[in-house]
Chain A
Amino acid sequence: MKSLGSIRRSFAPWTDPTSKPFISFKNVTKKFGDFVAVDDLSLNIYTREFFALLGASGCGKSTLLRMLAGFEQPTSGEIILDGQSLAGIPPYKRPVNMMFQSYALFPHMSVETNIAFGLKQDGMPKPQIAERVDQMLKLVKLEKFAKRKPHQLSGGQRQRVALARSLAKRPKVLLLDEPLGALDKKLREETQFELMDLQQELGLTFVIVTHDQEEAMTMADRIALMAHGKVIQVSTPAEIYEAPNSRFVADFIGDVNIFDGTVSSSEDGKLQIETESGFPIRVAATDAPAVGAKAGFAVRPEKIKVSREEPVSFGTNAMRGEIWDIGYLGDMTVFHVRLPDGKVVKASSLNAVRAVEDPLGYEQEVWISFAEDAGVVLKD
C-alpha cells in the first residue's frame, strides 16, 4: 500500500502541459427544452485519473455523465474520448461502462448472468465468459453468491454485483453515478477505500458523480465542483478545500467563516482589511485586490484558535468575543463565538486529551485568533 500512496502523490498529469487528456468536453451545452442543464462546459480528464463531479442535485453533473455514456446527446459542443469524437455513437458501441445509482441489476437474471450480460453481447466464447465471470466474482468477493438473484442479496452485495458487471467488459472508462448513495454510512466508508484500491489495481479511469463532498474528497484525484451547469473549480481535494477560488466554493466545501471588509493597505503580498466587525486583520494574498476594494477573508473553523488570554505571537489576527454555543462532537468540539457586532464565528478544536481541566464554558469572554496565511482572500 505504501507504493500506491507514493504513486498517488506523484500522479498529476494535469500539471504537465505535454500530456494529452483522455476525455475532453469541448464547449458542451445540453438543453432540455428551455432548461439549460449543462452550459458551455469544457473539461479535461486524464488516463488513470479518479475524477469526481461534485455538486448539488440539478447542477448538471448527472447529465454530463449520461452524455459520456451516450444516453443523452449534447445540444452543442463535442465530447472526445481517446482522440475520437463520440458524436453519434450509441451507448451500446461506446467503450465506457456505467454503474447506476439504482444499480439497475436485471431482476430476472442471477448474479453470474448479470455479470456475463455485457460479454455475451460482444459474442465472447462461452468458456472465456465463464472464466471472466469467475474472475470478477473473486474481485468483488461474491463467489458464493453466483447463482443468487438480485432480490436475494443485501444492499452492499447488490452494489458489488453492479460494480462487477460494469467492470466485466474492461471498459476504458468506468462511470459511477452516486455509486454509494444507497449504502449506510459505515459500509459506504469501507467501500470508498475498496473502490480506490480497485481503481489503482486495474489502472482504469474512473469518473464519479456524487453530491457527498466527503466521498469526493476521500476518493478523487481531482474534483470538479459544478453549479448551474457550469464548472466552478477543478482542483485536487486539498486545493479545493484550502484554496477555494470563490465564495461559492468556500461555502460549499466544508465549514467556513468569511470576514468581509474593505482593503485599507496592500504591500508585499500583505493586505490589511478593515472588517465589518470592527477588527482590522492582516492577511497574506498572492493576487491582492486594490486598496479601497471590497474583499472577504475565508478561514476554516479548525484554523481558528480559541483562548482565554490575548495571543501575542507576531502575524496573528485576534478578535475578542463571547462563547455563544458549544457543540461536543467527540473527536472535536465546535465553539460558536459571538463578536461584539453580533457576528458568530465557528472555531473547532481537536479533543486530543480525554479530560480538560477547567474547560471553556458558555458566555465566557475569549479571544479567537488565526494566522495571516490561515485562509484565502475572496475578491467577489
Chain B
Amino acid sequence: MSTWSRFNIVSIIVGFAFLYLPIVLLVIFSFNESKLVTVWAGFSTRWYVQLFQNQALLDAAWVTIRVALISATVATVLGTFAALAMTRYTRFRGRMLFSGMIYAPLVMPEVITGLSMLLLFVAIGFDRGFWTLTLAHITFTMCFVAVVVQSRLLSFDRSIEEAAMDLGATPVSTFLQVTLPVIAPAVFSGWVLALTLSLDDLVISSFTSGPGATTLPMKIYSQVRLGVTPEINAICTILIGIVAVGVLIASVVSRRREAQRVADERAAFAQ
C-alpha cells in the first residue's frame, strides 16, 4: 500500500495522541502521592484505599450497576423489536413518526430528554427514584440498540428465513430458531452499548432520579464541581480499567474466532 503516505501516518498518530493523552495523564495522576492533581510527588495507592472506605460512593456504584443491567436488558428487547419493525415492515401507518422517534433520541440534547421525562413522571404522579431512572434509561438506550440491530438486519440474507419456512417452520419458530441466533452478536453488542450508555449517563439521570437513587456519575459530578482531586482520578481509573479489560477480552475472543474461521475456510478449500 504505497498510498499510505507520511501525511496519513502523522495525522493518525497526532489524532490518537489527542484522543488518548488526557486519559493517560488522568490515570497517571491517580497514583500521585500529593493532593494536587498537577504536581507529581511520588507513587501512591492511598487514594484507592480511601475510595473503598467511601460508603456513599459504593452505594452509588451499586445503584448504577443495577439500573444499567435492568435497563440494558429491557432496552435490548424493545430495541430489537423496533429494529425488526423498521426493516421488515416497510409500510405501516405512522412509520415516519416511528422512525423519527428512533432517530431523534440519538442526537437530542440530553437536557431536553431529561426534562421532558421528568415532567412526564410528575404529571402521572410517579415518585422519582430508582424506577423512574430505569424507565428513562430504557427509553433513550433502546434507540441505540435499535440502530445497531437494524444495521445487522439490513445485511441479513432473508432467504434463510424463507428456507426455514419452506422446510415447515412457522414464522414464530423461524424467528426463534433462525433469525435470533443469527443476529445474536448484534443484539449482544446492542446490549453492551446500552449498558455503557446507562452506566455513563449524567444529565438524564440527574433529572429523573430521586432521593436514594444517586448514580455514580451524579456522585462524581458533584465532587468534580468542588474541585479536582486524586480521589476522583482514582474512581475514573477504575472505571477506565474495567472498560479496557472488557474491550480487550472482547477483541481477543473475536480475533481468535476470526482466525478460526479463516483457518476453517482454508481447510475447506484445500480438499
Contacts and interface: CB of A to CB of B under 8 A. Distances in A.
Q: Do chains A and B touch in the complex (CB under 8 A)?
A: yes
Interface of A: 69-71, 90-94, 96-98, 100-102, 104-108, 117-118, 121-122, 148-149, 151-154, 157, 165-166, 169
Given A91-B162, A105-B160, A152 B168 contact: no
16 contacts: A69-B162, A70-B166, A92-B165, A92-B170, A98-B163, A104-B157, A104-B160, A106-B178, A117-B164, A118-B168, A121-B169, A148-B268, A151-B261, A152-B268, A154-B271, A169-B168
Contact of B166 (A98, A102, A106): A98
A278 B177 CA distance: 70
A91 B163 CA distance: 9
B269 A165 contact: no
Contacts of A153: 268
- Say what secondary structure dominates the interface of chain A: loop
Contacts of A108: 181-182
B3 interface: no
A108 B177 CA distance: 10
A118 B178 CA distance: 12
Contacts of B181: 108
A143 B267 CA distance: 17
B167 interface: yes
B264 A169 contact: no
Contacts of A102: 157, 159
Contacts of B182: 106-108
Given A121-B168, A121-B169, A151 B265 contact: yes
A130 B11 CA distance: 60
B268 A154 contact: yes
Contacts of B165: 70-71, 90-92
Contacts, number: 78
Residue from B157, B160, B267, B268 with most neighbouring chain A CB atoms (10 Å): B268
Interface residues of B, number: 24
A329 B269 CA distance: 31
Which residue of A70, A97, A108 has the most chain B CB atoms within 10 A of its CB atom? A108
A370 to B, nearest CB: 47
Contacts of A70: 165-166
B167 A152 contact: no
B166 A152 contact: no
Given A104-B157, A152-B267, A153-B268, A71 B162 contact: yes
Given A100-B159, A153-B268, A154-B271, A106 B261 contact: no
A107 B165 CA distance: 16
B254 interface: no
Given A117-B164, A151-B261, A151-B264, 19 more contacts: A70-B165, A70-B166, A71-B165, A91-B162, A92-B165, A92-B167, A104-B163, A105-B163, A106-B163, A106-B178, A106-B182, A107-B182, A108-B181, A118-B168, A151-B265, A152-B267, A152-B268, A153-B268, A154-B269
B173 interface: yes
A154 B265 CA distance: 8
Nearest to A107: B182
Interface string B138-153: 0000000000000000
B168 A122 contact: yes
Contacts of A92: 165-170
A168 to B, nearest CB: 8
A94 B170 CA distance: 12
For A94, A152, A169, the residue with the greatest tally of chain B CB atoms inside 10 Å of its CB is A152
The residue in B162, B182, B261, B269 that gathers the most chain A C-beta atoms within 10 A of its C-beta is: B162
